A and B are shown apart, each in its own frame.
Chain A
Amino acid sequence: MKSKRIPLLVTGCLVIALVASACAPAATPTPKPKPTAAPKATAVPATAVPTPKARGTLKYSIYWEPPVKNPIFEGVSGDMAWFFDPLIRFEYDGSIVPRLAESWEYDPEGLEWTFHLRTNVKWHDGEAFSADDVVFTINKIEDPDIASPVLSYLQVSGENIQVQKVDAHTVKFTLPQPYGPFLTNLTNVGIAPKHILENVADMEISDFNQQPIGTGPFRVTEVVDGDHWTLEANDDFYLGKPGLAGLFIRISGDTEAVVAALKTGELDIAETEEITHLDWFKQEGGYTIYTCTPGGGALLFLNLLEEPLFKDVRVRQAMAYAIDRQGIVDTITYGYAVVAHAAIIDKGFSAWASNPNVTRYDYNPEKAKDILGEAGWTDSDGDGILDKDGKPFRFTTTMQSGYATYENTVAVIQANLKQVGIDMQIQALERSAFRALRADKARADKTQAMFSGAGIPFDPDLMYTTYHSSMYPGGSVNLYGYRNERVDELLDNGRTTVDREARKPFYIEAQQIVADEIPYIPIYFYWIGWVVNDRVKGLPKPEDLGGVDPTYYIGWFAERLSIE
């Protein structure tokens, strides 16, 4: 197995950086007045697009290309959103708004959901969209021969959600049991054209997947493998003519080159997490910087099952006190990430379910030492490492290599723990190797701890994957089998309740228990940086996005964008 250890030197440098930053005031750059930056267009009407005289082409860059451009095989919350539509979609304030469906209602139990579809929708080839397309798509995704990765969005506890046509523009979904995240999941299910795909013998290898035909605001006119896609405005779009004439989507590799291209105007929008880049654009003016925290947590997962070290809750709490999470956020992420106190972030789509009053573990190494002492851990042989019954407090954390922010974070955790006498080793594995180990059912026998991200919470139900006992050992992020019957019950209730207000108390309580028991130590909610040239109009201002990742947003309401 390929592995590498992070050299001590790096750790040392980071410790120095941490100490230095503790003395200096927060390292935020002083914003220079921007003489050139004109006030930007602000509020965007939901549907109507002010069409400028000459419509421009937006030059956009992606690092990862959906390999199969077919909603039967791929969710539509990413770059598929330019040309495929789901029935409903998230608005950036977190509410759910109509897309292909005009309205919907459900029975009091939340088992039958009826969606009324728009009647003025046309596929890019001019055919009319109808309920048949919806039924066809859902049935294909649920077809066992297709083995679609989208299927889990259409299942409740492993059982398929059924769909049937009521009339040409009405469909009815029947759920096996009430399901809170149903609408959230539906926002990721795009609809595919029946009239094209019903005659395709093997859909998985069909040409359609590279020349998709959707209902979205843009149609794909050209896909040059590995280089770029060209998209052109769909002027028959059901919400009106898009503000852009088209899109040029570059498939890029190196971040430095992407940033350079943004400077030259070869790109209009680009992603970077490099703080020096963000500073440059800030100073230069003429760009809007979005630093969003989509809410995915990065956690130190402790092996609760096989590692005796972590069985004592006091030890886990002491470790949480020993890790300077605010310091990590300030120095490694330059204040852009958010310290994870509660399991659900108070920004973005799940903010309504976040608990602001959970037990906090603010950095306190003295307290950590005291608690460890109470738990029986003392440095009896004077080697700087705590020990108990002759065994030193030593373990190895496994992580994925190649992502500098994570690597630096773990190096600081290592240094923090060292200060209270805990010796943590780091094992960094190549991406595939790490993911294989993370999905390995025997991981509890093979590893002692892992540093890993959890998914992005479009719905607070994401807690289920990390903290529900049924999520172990299968391919989920309850990596070391955390089990608490009350938490299981609360998460089950949250999942099977439809109304937001009724769901909220379940998540509030679950977050409190999880914070007290701290099975896995949440470090921060990671962040994403985006730089957008101010020529691009129609995006909400960063403060109005409420922590929503604009990459999603850009594609979701692509018809609202325009460029000068």
Chain B
Amino acid sequence: MLRYISRRLLSIIPLLLAISVISFILIRVAPGDPIITYEDPRGGRQVPPEELERMYEKLGLNDPLHVQYWRWLRNVLRGNLGYSLTTKRPTMEMIMQRVPNTLRLTVVALITTLLLAIPLGVMCGRYQNSLFDQVISAITFVGFSLPNFWVALMLIYLFGVNLRWLPIMGMASVGGNSFWATLKHMVLPVSTFVLVDVGGWMRYQRAGVIEAMQEDYTRTARAKGLPERVVFFRHVWRNAVLPIVTFLGLSLSSLIGGAFLVEFVFAWPGMGRLGVEAALARDYPVVMAVTMLSSLLIMMGNLVADITYALVDPRIRYD
């Protein structure tokens, strides 16, 4: 197992290098650059060409691409992700400020989603095609099919504008950075994630249960006279939870990567907004850092999924 893990970890290195080369080239060949793009939208001022030239020179954007890449790579290996071209702040610091904001939303949303989806999925699978199954399935299908920004706006209008129960934007209100204030600000974005995501997870769980109920080992368990409760929880559910574990590993990257649209609507300063806004502004160091981080997370997520798979399912062995 350990050999397997270390082999997988080692294979991540060349992959990351390849990804870094490709994304470095891609972001540079995209039309536009950070200086032309940087402009106060209200200012309407044009930067004179000599000034532009000076700024390119200063940022090293006039050097050949491979020189720039090598410089970037050397700095990254020394643990320096560079400075943002727009805010001039260390990229690492910007990311480290955003990650907790995002985790706060995504982790709470994921836990809530699972707490809802697993029991619902189990019930729907156990009593397949019952009225309960049909109603719940219909509801979750609706949620599943709605775009998250639309759900977000509807929640805003219902709970923010009409009922006035909850704040709409950001992480804090005037004078309120307290735990309680933040919690109130989290309710709507977290609900958006839950409403949209619960359907998917519920369906995985339901499908898993239905499949496991038809397996031979379940029939065997019933045949040898085990009580239904034991049959269900020891034999059916333990197998049905496997796909959930896989998807959990795969969703690791989106936990930290955030969700741009939801963050955008609720003015939540998370990683999704950081990444998209950096890409629009052609803020190369930030784009590279966010890309590398999410690539790393996706690979780690796959690895974690494979490992937990082995832990949960004794049939799987890596040697």
Residues of A within 8 A of B (CB): 1, 57, 59, 63-64, 66-68, 73-75, 77-78, 144, 147, 149, 151-152, 158, 204-205, 209-210, 224-228, 248, 250-254, 256-258, 260-261, 263-264, 266-267, 296, 429-437, 439, 453-456, 465, 474-477, 549, 551-552
Contacts and interface: CB of A to CB of B under 8 A. Distances in A.
B87 interface: yes
A73 B35 CA distance: 13
A234 to B, nearest CB: 18
Contacts of A254: 149, 153, 264-265, 267
Interface of B: 30-33, 36-52, 54-55, 58, 83-84, 86-90, 94, 97-98, 101, 149, 152-153, 156-157, 160-161, 164, 167-175, 177, 263-269, 273-274, 280-282
Contacts of B172: 224, 227-228
A224 B268 CA distance: 11
Contact of A454 (B44, B101, B152): B44
Given A432-B282, A453-B44, A455-B43, A158 B31 contact: no
Nearest to B168: A261
A497 B164 CA distance: 58
Contact of A147 (B38, B54, B101): B54
B87 A68 contact: yes
Contacts of A429: 31
5 contacts: A67-B88, A205-B83, A257-B168, A436-B32, A453-B44
Looking at B45, B84, B87, B273, the one whose CB has the most chain A CB atoms below 10 A away is B45
A261 B46 CA distance: 34
Contact of B42 (A78, A210, A261): A78
B136 to A, nearest CB: 30
A245 to B, nearest CB: 10
A261 B84 CA distance: 31
B170 A432 contact: no
A252 B174 contact: no
A225 B84 CA distance: 14
**CB-based closest 8 A-B pairs:** A432-B32, A455-B44, A226-B269, A474-B49, A433-B31, A253-B264, A67-B87, A436-B32
A225 B31 contact: no
Contacts of A261: 160, 168-169
B172 to A, nearest CB: 6
B263 A75 contact: no
Contact of B269 (A225, A266, A551): A225
B174 to A, nearest CB: 5
Nearest to A73: B88
Contacts of A437: 31
B267 A251 contact: yes
A469 B33 CA distance: 26
A275 to B, nearest CB: 18
Contacts of B164: 264
B97 A225 contact: yes
Given A64-B40, A228-B171, A248-B173, 20 more contacts: A67-B87, A68-B88, A77-B43, A158-B48, A158-B50, A210-B89, A224-B171, A225-B94, A227-B267, A250-B169, A254-B153, A254-B264, A257-B156, A258-B169, A430-B31, A435-B37, A454-B44, A455-B45, A456-B43, A476-B46
Q: Chain B binding site: helix, strand, loop or mixed by DSSP?
A: loop
Nearest to A432: B32
Contacts of B269: 224-227, 251
Contacts of B88: 67-68, 73, 204-205, 209
Given A205-B83, A228-B170, A257 B267 contact: yes
Nearest to A247: B174
A296 B48 contact: no
Contacts of A74: 40
A278 B270 CA distance: 30
A1 B269 CA distance: 30
A260 B156 contact: yes
B47 A432 contact: no
Contact of B37 (A67, A431, A476, A552): A431
A264 B43 CA distance: 30
Nearest to B57: A147
B319 to A, nearest CB: 47
A456 B42 contact: yes
A257 B169 contact: yes
Contacts of B171: 224, 227-228
Contact of A432 (B31, B42, B90): B31
Contact of A225 (B98, B156, B265): B98
B189 to A, nearest CB: 11
Contacts of B173: 248, 266
A455 B46 contact: yes
A196 B119 CA distance: 60
Contact of B47 (A149, A225, A431): A149
A256 B153 contact: yes
A267 B164 CA distance: 13
A431 B41 CA distance: 11
A261 B156 CA distance: 9
A409 B219 CA distance: 68
B267 A253 contact: yes
B267 A1 contact: no
A252 B54 CA distance: 33
A226 B43 contact: no
Contacts of A266: 160, 167-169, 173
Contacts of B49: 474-475
Contacts of A226: 97-98, 101, 269, 273-274
A73 B167 CA distance: 35
B280 A152 contact: no
Contacts of A75: 40, 43, 45
A341 B163 CA distance: 48
Contacts of B170: 227-228, 250-252
Contacts of A210: 89
B196 to A, nearest CB: 17
A152 B266 CA distance: 37
Contact of B265 (A209, A257, A431): A257
A76 to B, nearest CB: 11
A257 B50 CA distance: 41
Contacts of A67: 84, 86-88
A256 to B, nearest CB: 6
A257 B266 contact: yes
A146 B262 CA distance: 38
A210 B170 CA distance: 19
B44 A149 contact: no
Nearest to B85: A67
B174 A248 contact: yes
B278 to A, nearest CB: 11
